[in-house]
Structure 1
Amino acid sequence: MLTVTLLVALIGSLANSVMALVGLLVFLPAAAAALCTVRQTALVCAWTALLGSSAFLTGGSDIALADRVLLLVLTACLIAASLYACRRRIHREHTMVRLHSAAVAMQQQILRPLPLLTEDVRVDGVYEPVQEDRLVGGDIYDVVESAWGTRVLIGDVQGKGLAAVGAAFAVIGSFREAAHREPTLTALVDALDASVTRHNSSVARDGDDERFVTVLVLNIDARGEVQAVNCGHVPPQLIAAHSVTTPPLDNGVPLGLAALTTEPVRVGRFPFPGDTTLLLSTDGLTESRAADGAFYPLSDRLAALGTLPPSDLPRALQQDAHAYAGKTSPHDDIAILTVRRRRRP
């Protein structure tokens, strides 16, 4: 405020038109309304009113009385408008803060903050929706500790937008309930498929597009192996001390498309000793492209980054994928999880 006033006074003195340039100060209240608190805006308005009144009372004969009156009226109108605009802006900001807080609380119930701990495993990870203003996207994950071991889910809903988020909610809700009810992974996956089918039927009646969901469901208990069902999802990566391998799993159809095939759900098994790390991801990572169109080489990058602690690996992979894509940064949600056995007493 003082800087602008001094500049106007200095330029006006050099140009012998101080009183003519005083009118420029009426823009100070508008700037304050956009940037400052109500009290700060009121202070700027008072300062502007003081200078405007001085211009009216002490204006030289070279400035007509009508022009000085017009300047005073415009200053008063702008002051009133600036105070009103500032109050509206502050009210909207408070409203947005409350809405954001509510959205964060909702997200923490839908996609619980990482890391997640159970008696069997520790799950670290990173989650990045492609739209920065949205806390939840089409990628999903969850961890449930059941009577048959820890069930881990990672999935990706086809498409984007609110319809994709609705399908994601349906899968997560069904997983949390069925993981405690169904003793086998095949029954659990059947329950998830039924939830997506019901969701698609509901949205189809409203004229929205149906969605399918790729998921990878794991069951990890005290035994040294993992039971897994892959429904069209990115396969997991098993990271050992000096190797990165892809466990052999049958690739089934995504959720919502089971009626199109007669193939039964098959459960795969692979060893998961305590000194290894299991990496789960969505295609937002594997389908990140460089400027020449080449896909992100996940296996090669894991060979270089796999020695990082499991808690740091997801963030490192996310940053590496962004650096690999460059200006063509990923155009899909990204979810990266690392699963590590916890040491039992």
Structure 2
Amino acid sequence: MRRVREEPGWLRGAPPPRWARLAPAVALFVLVCAQRVTPGDVEFGYFLAGLPPVAAFAYGAAGTAVFAGVVLVLLGLPGIGIAHARGSDLATVAAIGLLSVVVAWVRKRRDAQLISVRTVAEAAQLAVLPPVPERVGQVRCSGLYRAAQRGTLVGGDLYDVRVGPFGVRAVVGDVQGHGLAAVGTVASLLGAFREGVLDDAELTAVAARLDRRLLADAAGSAVEHAELFATAVLLEFPPGLDLVRIVSCGHPPPLLLRGFVVSELDVEPGPPLGLGLAGPAPSQPTELPVRPEDRVLLYTDGVTEARDAAGNFYPLAARVPVLATDPVGLAQAVWRDLASFTGGGPRDDVALLVLSPDGDPDGAHRTP
């Protein structure tokens, strides 16, 4: 499973770029050379006082102190001819240099704290929503997850593929809201799904379990009249059978890619989860035949509701046959095409999951 993540930028925990580290030294050299070729009545030397604050953004306290010391030497030695500084001027420059050293020290400590917090946050998010392996049981898997909120790995969409005593089961869903506010609901639903994979003989019972989980969470919420709901589609590849069972809970229907022909699976629609409408025994799942070379594409509405500059929706079903031959894989190809279509990527969470029944439980891959 390919997870798209956004790396932190400069001043947000990432190391400074090379140009930022070179800038103070280059500015120092340019100012000294400019002063050397300039008539004596024009002074550029006092611009050197701005170098320590600039260095504080790219260097630590020691590196900044070096720049501050060099500036004081250049301004304080009259024989060098950089500037004619008085004692009060040197005191001001020294104070600026000292303040810059303090700023650099504070920045380095903050960067270390940001890296630590980010590492812990990423570990926690990956524990909630770990990447799906390339193969689960007799099903090959690939996919992509992209959270809408900057700097996060998990949003309001969810996916999982698990093997249990009743076959390989998968879920793709979209909870109310998006971003970090929805992560708790995502974790709750995934926990219920993983229990259902092991305990519930019927796929519809798994859907009912998810429905009860959301109802219980809404009842225990501190917010009065809180409502939690989610759309989801659940799949089951039973062992020894060339078919897939599907239960849809208000979610967009999966797409079946057979060769280069794409069709929308005719699935009996059901109510979203969390409304208490699934009940103890929902309607029977839809059963459809599948072949080893088939690919089933599950997605969230962050894909199909993405718009271009003219307001047109992304035509997923029409684009899939064109993207199916991309060597990067179908899920990654869809994401690249979607980002190009929207001019940078949609503003909603996106989850894509491609499942292909192999029919070989020992793990030998077949060529599609």
Q: Same fold by TM-score, threshold 0.5 exceeded?
A: yes
Residue 344 (str. 1) matches residue 368 (str. 2)? no
**CA 1:229–1:260 in 2, change beyond 3 Å: closer, same or farther?**
closer
Structure 2 residue corresponding to 1:30, chosen from 53, 73, 80: 53
Distance 2:361 2:133 in 1: 18
- Give the residue type in structure 2 aligned to 1:99: V
Number of residue pairs the alignment of both structures matches: 336
RMSD after superposition:
2.5
Residue 312 (str. 1) matches residue 329 (str. 2)? yes
Q: Secondary structure at the match of 1:274?
A: coil
Q: Secondary structure at the match of 2:66?
A: helix
Alpha carbons 2:48, 2:71 under 8 Å: kept = yes
Q: Secondary structure at the match of 1:229?
A: strand
Distance 2:81 2:324 in 1: 75
Alpha carbons 1:116, 1:143 under 8 Å: kept = no
Structure 2 residue corresponding to 1:45, chosen from 68, 90, 93: 68
Q: Secondary structure at the match of 1:34?
A: coil
Structure 2 residue corresponding to 1:226, chosen from 225, 232, 244: 244
Q: Which moved more, 1:114-123 or 1:270-279?
A: 114-123
Distance 1:220 1:176 in 2: 15
Residue 210 (str. 1) matches residue 227 (str. 2)? yes
Q: Which has the higher helix share?
A: 1
Q: Secondary structure at the match of 1:155?
A: strand
After TM superposition, give the deviation of residue 24 of structure 1 in Å.
1.4
Q: Which residue of 1 aligns with 2:178?
A: 160
- Give the residue type in structure 2 aligned to 1:22: G
Query: Residues 157-306 of structure 1: matches in 2 within 5 Å?
Result: 157-203=175-221, 205-207=222-224, 209-222=226-239, 223-259=241-277, 264-306=282-324
After TM superposition, give the deviation of residue 49 of structure 1 in Å.
2.3
Residue 331 (str. 1) matches residue 347 (str. 2)? yes
Q: Secondary structure at the match of 2:308?
A: coil
**CA 1:312–1:319 in 2, change beyond 3 Å: closer, same or farther?**
same
Q: Secondary structure at the match of 2:287?
A: strand
After TM superposition, give the deviation of residue 16 of structure 1 in Å.
1.9
- Give the residue type in structure 2 aligned to 1:21: F
Query: Residues 88-99 of structure 1: matches in 2 within 5 Å?
Result: 88-99=106-117
Q: Secondary structure at the match of 2:267?
A: coil
Unaligned 5+ segments in structure 2 are: 1-23, 363-368
Distance 1:161 1:154 in 2: 16
Q: Secondary structure at the match of 1:295?
A: coil
Deviation string for 1:283-313 (max 9, x for gaps)? 111111122222111111112223446x710
Distance 1:170 1:138 in 2: 12
Distance 2:119 2:286 in 1: 41
Q: Secondary structure at the match of 2:140?
A: strand
After TM superposition, give the deviation of residue 35 of structure 1 in Å.
1.0
**CA 1:149–1:58 in 2, change beyond 3 Å: closer, same or farther?**
closer
Q: Secondary structure at the match of 1:35?
A: coil
Q: Secondary structure at the match of 2:118?
A: helix
Distance 2:255 2:80 in 1: 80
Alpha carbons 2:135, 2:141 under 8 Å: kept = yes
Aligned-pair identity in percent equals 31
Alpha carbons 1:120, 1:221 under 8 Å: kept = no
- Give the residue type in structure 1 aligned to 2:38: L
- Using the size of structure 2 for normalisation, the TM-score is 0.84
After TM superposition, give the deviation of residue 228 of structure 1 in Å.
1.1
After TM superposition, give the deviation of residue 263 of structure 1 in Å.
9.2
After TM superposition, give the deviation of residue 2 of structure 1 in Å.
4.6
- Using the size of structure 1 for normalisation, the TM-score is 0.89
After TM superposition, give the deviation of residue 243 of structure 1 in Å.
1.5
Q: Which residue of 2 aligns with 1:7?
A: 30
**CA 1:59–1:221 in 2, change beyond 3 Å: closer, same or farther?**
same
Q: Which moved more, 1:227-236 or 1:4-13?
A: 4-13
**CA 1:49–1:202 in 2, change beyond 3 Å: closer, same or farther?**
farther
Distance 2:88 2:134 in 1: 66
